[in-house]
Amino acid sequence: MSDNGHQQNEHENVPSRQRRRFEGISSRTYEHPADRSALVALRKLSGFDTVFKALSGLLPERSLRLLFLSDSVRVSDAQFAHLNTMLRDACHILDLEKVPPMYVAQDPQPNAMCIGLDEPIIVVTTGLVELLDEEEMRAVVGHEVGHALSGHAVYRTILLFLTNLALRVAWIPLGNIAIMAIVTALREWFRKSELSADRAGLLVGQDLKASMRGLMKLAGGNHLHEMNVDAFLEQAEEYEAGGDLRDSVLKILNTLPRTHPFTTVRAAELKKWAESRDYQRIMDGHYPRRTEDKETSVSDSFRQSAASYATDVKNSKDPLMKLVSDIAGGAGDLGGRVRRGFGGFAGGTPKDQTAPNDQTTSEDRTSPKDQPPRDSTPEDDD
């Protein structure tokens, strides 16, 4: 456990209250399997390596640092001292040796980010600082330190740059399509990386209720007396299970332009992880160390990611995921399942609905020679 009995001159490296410290912890400890697999898929995207190498040399990182230095407030013992203490605490708990610089930017929209290529920078907005209490903010700072430890800042910076670039070249059809393909893949990865960072925030704050309150405030503002955690989680369950296949498609379309998962989904995912055996083992001191990272097998990571996806699909209550699970399991009557899933979507019921055990007689069937000839058209070819 971390110790508050250290001398005052050592306080900069010691949490302000007793929390477990995870010495030498590897980011693999808290990274969501989908985060790792999405990043692997991103790196395999055609053209990504070329873009990444080019942008690594062209992105104005020095300019970015000067911008925050000149137009934001740098957190220190003299400015936003309580945030500075939280930052040092988070780095101490996750054993991040170099404390990244942190800035507060004037923006009423609650937000936080970790960006930078060579060295990460953490930025939080005034809207977020004013919205959250101390323990909720501690989880957010831990969230951003988790991004830094996982090396997410590099890809987040490229995502921001490419998103802005896509807006500027939107009038060039082919150029915009090429950029948006990478932006879409980056967003898919970043949504998964947020689930990892939420876990890191919980490891730092070690207060699930505070993490849940923070997510609720991001969804509904500073009106906790009007909100309830259980009811909030029920929303996530209703979102996951509700509707038919049309709703499943709409969920995908609603998610694609976002960099973050929906807050109810994040809350449900975090609570599920906090109640898992994996989390308890970490809190008991059993977790992967950074010294073991080089020995980690890539194929093992793939297997873990595949197993995680398979479990998610199997346990999902979403209609589309149920259909995918049934197909993977060899379920028959696919056409019937699709029709039932999209019930009423096309308006009306098909006139011909032949049961699997067809009882029609030979007299009821039309022989091939009695059928009119079909014209061979492109539409008829599969």
Active site (catalytic) residues: 144
Instruction: Say if strands 102-105 and 121-125 run parallel, antiparallel, or are unpaired.
Output: parallel
Instruction: Say if strands 102-105 and 112-115 run parallel, antiparallel, or are unpaired.
Output: unpaired
CA 117 from centre of chain: 20
Distant-in-sequence, close-in-space partners of 205: CB < 8 Å, separation ≥ 6: 19, 135, 138, 139, 142, 211
Distant-in-sequence, close-in-space partners of 331: CB < 8 Å, separation ≥ 6: 337
Between CA 209 and CA 223 the distance in angstroms is 15
> Which residues on adjacent β-strands are paired with residue 320?
none
Residue ranges of alpha helices (H) inside the chain are: 33-43, 48-58, 61-71, 81-93, 126-131, 134-150, 153-168, 173-205, 208-220, 229-241, 245-255, 263-274, 277-283, 298-315, 319-328, 334-341
Token digits of residue 184: 């879409």
Phi and psi at residue 45, in whole multiples of 5°? -65, 135
Query: Mapped to the 3 state alphabet, what secondary structure does 34-102 carry?
Result: HHHHHHHHHHCCCCHHHHHHHHHHHCCHHHHHHHHHHHCEECCCCCCHHHHHHHHHHHHHCCCCCCCCE
